[in-house]
Structure 1
Amino acid sequence: MLVVTIIILCVTIYLLSRFIAFKKEVKKLTKQLQIYRNRKTNKKIDLALFDQDIENLAFEMNKLIDLYMNEYRKRVHFENEQQQAIANMSHDLRTPLTSILGYIQMAESNNATDLEKKEWLTTAKNRAKRLEALLNDFFELSIIESKDHLLETKTINLRNLTIDILMSFYDRFSEKGMEPILHLPKQDIFIISDEIAVTRVMENLISNAITHSDGTIMISLEEKESKVRLLVINDASSLTDKDIERMFDRFYMADQSRSGKSTGLGLSIAKALMKKMNGTISGRLDQDQLSIICEWELAKNK
């Protein structure tokens, strides 16, 4: 009887000590969660537990904290990006509007000659066209990024499409006295994608190269394993690594003076379209040369 009593007493003491330790750890856990909730620390749950189930609970809570922090960072980044986009858009809208109004006011002056009025109105018209291009690009980007915007896929001969697009830029190359260096395969290369989207991407990249190139432009198309790679390379001695990091951001222009040569949305549109096509686009700066690389999946059985 005495032995049974001792055993019961020992079990009771053990269970009581376990219960007290459990209560202590739960209070510690609760306190850490309260501190974390109040943003007083970003430290994860740290418990020296003796119970496997409670350890598993703490592990899952830490995973949940990781998930929350990742979503929080994404939200903050998105909000900052949106604020910057709105600020840039406001700047890009206000600048041509102010300029247009200024030239119109000068043209309305009684002291202006007919020739001066004509020149000022022509300038105002050109600025209005840039403003129209900006609004069109912004509208196009918002449509592309919409979940409701679906692409129509079909088999595309990318080699032939590249040649056709290059021919459409003949006048612009001639105006700048440029002759692009081409590296195109002799055989046809096929991808399955949206032809309008592919065309828009290539037009934006070539237009960007012509506008900002310091000299040489090279366009290369190649088949590499199961991928099709398009490279548009141009001299860009004024660019920095920071420019490359941000070149696909909305409205970003390496030329902070915003001379009016572009809307700053062309590369953003290209990136959005490549994402829709499940392709990739990236930039690289090497020895004062900017390379923009697009990749699509190679169509099978062609």
Structure 2
Amino acid sequence: MLILTLVSVTVAALLLARLLLMRRELGRMTSQLRRYNKGTTGKKIDVSLFDQRLEALAGEINRQSDLVVDAEARRRRTENELRQAIANISHDIRTPLTSIFGYIQLLEAEPITSQEKHEYLTIVKNRTKRLQALLNDFFELSLIESSDYQLKTERIEMNVLLSDILVGFYDKFNERNITPDIRLPQEAVAVYADESAVRRVVENLLINTVKHAAGHVEICFGHKEKTAELRIVNEAKELTDIDVRLLFDRFYTVDRTRSAQGSGLGLSIAKSLMDKMNGTLTAELHGGNLTMTCRWKLTLAGEAV
């Protein structure tokens, strides 16, 4: 009986000591977390008492802290992007509006010749078209990125579609004295995608190429295993690695003064459409050459939609 009593007392003492140690460790963890939350330290919670449950709790708290930090970083990044986007679109809209208002004042304030009137009206018309294009691009991107925007997936013969698009750009390339090196496969290549979206993506990429290309332009289409791939390569010696990383951002233009006629949304629209089609659009810079690459799921010959 005495031995049993001694054993019970010893076990109770050990349990009490263990409980006190865990209580002290919980207090220590609480103090660490409080300092971390206040920003007085960047050190996360560590556990000095060996206990699997306490270590698991500390690990989960540290992971939650990481999630909070990441969420805050994303929030700040989104706010900065939105602030920059608002500044850019405000600038892009204000510029043609100011010009339109100025020429309307000239038309109203002074007696002018028929030739001057025609010139002013032409400028107003062109500025109005630019403003309309800006607003249309902004609306289209907002629509594409909404969760309700749906695409129609169907089997598309890419050889036929690309040939049709490229013919439409013949005059634009010719005006820039550019003869693109076009390589399309002899065999038919088809993809699962939305035809109007694919056309919009390719046209936006070609518009960007025609606008900024200098010298050699290469347009290649083919397939690798289960993927169809379109590559557009052009000289772009004025671009930097930073520019390439930002090419698909909303309203981004390489022209820092934003004096060009583009909205800075064409590549963003193309990227959003490719994402919607479960495809990819990437940009790489190698040796002064910009390579834009689109990839779609390949449809095998005879395969049903």
Please identify runs of 4+ aligned residues in structure 1 that moved more than 6 A. Answer: none
Q: Which TM-score applies when normalising by structure 2?
A: 0.94
Cross-structure match for 1:45: 45
Aligned to 1:297: 297
SS at match of 1:298: strand
Task: Give the superposition deviation at 1:256.
Answer: 1.1
Corresponding residue of 1:230: 230
Are residues 1:131 and 2:121 paired?
no
Q: Counterpart of 2:105 in 1: which secondary structure?
A: helix
TM-score, length-normalised on structure 1? 0.95
Query: C-alpha distance in 1, partners of 2:171/2:19?
Result: 84
Which secondary structure does the structure 1 equivalent of 2:109 belong to?
Answer: coil
Q: Distance in 2 between matches of 1:160 and 1:43?
A: 60
Aligned positions of 1:138-177 closer than 5 A: 138-177=138-177
Sort the Cα spacing of 1:86 and 1:188 in 2 relative to 1 into closer, same or farther, 3 A. Answer: same
Q: 2:19 matched to which residue of 1?
A: 19
- Distance in 1 (CA, whole Å) between partners of 2:73 and 2:225 is 36
Kindly state the Cα deviation for residue 258 of structure 1 after the two structures are TM-superposed. Answer: 1.8
Q: Match of 1:214, SS?
A: coil
Q: Which moved more, 1:80-89 or 1:205-214?
A: 80-89
* Residue of structure 1 equivalent to 2:198: 198
Report percent identity of matched pairs. Answer: 47
Q: Decide which moves more: 226-235 or 106-115.
A: 106-115
Structure 2: which amino acid aligns with 1:199?
R
* C-alpha separation in 2, matches of 1:42 and 1:251: 36
Please say which of residues 36-45 and 291-300 is displaced more in the overlay: 36-45
Structure 2: gaps spanning 5 or more residues: none
- Counterpart residue identity of residue 143, structure 2: I
Point out where structure 1 has 5 or more consecutive residues left out of the alignment.
Answer: none
Separation in structure 2 between the aligned mates of residue 80 and residue 258 of structure 1, nearest angstrom: 19
Give the Cα–Cα distance (whole angstroms) in 1 for the partners of residues 204 and 97 of structure 2: 25
Match of 1:97 in 2: 97
Report the number of matched residues: 302
Alpha-carbon distance in 1 for matches of 2:12, 2:189: 79
Q: Which residue of 1 aligns with 2:59?
A: 59
For 2:177, give the aligned amino acid.
Answer: G
Aligned counterparts of 1:50 and 1:66: Cα–Cα separation in 2: 23
- Per-residue deviation, 1:219: 0.7
Corresponding letter in the other structure for 2:46: D
2:8 maps to 8
**Bigger shift: 142-151 or 236-245?**
236-245
User: Which residue of structure 2 aligns with residue 261 of structure 1?
Assistant: 261
Which is further off, 1-10 or 282-291? 1-10
Over aligned residue pairs, what C-alpha RMSD do you find?
1.6
**1:175 is matched by which residue type in structure 2?**
E
How big is the shift at 1:288?
1.4
| Counterpart contact for 1:192–1:298, Cα < 8 Å | yes
**Per-residue deviation at 1:301?**
4.4
Change (3 A) 1:41 1:118: farther
- Alignment CA distance shift 1:40-1:91 (3 Å): farther
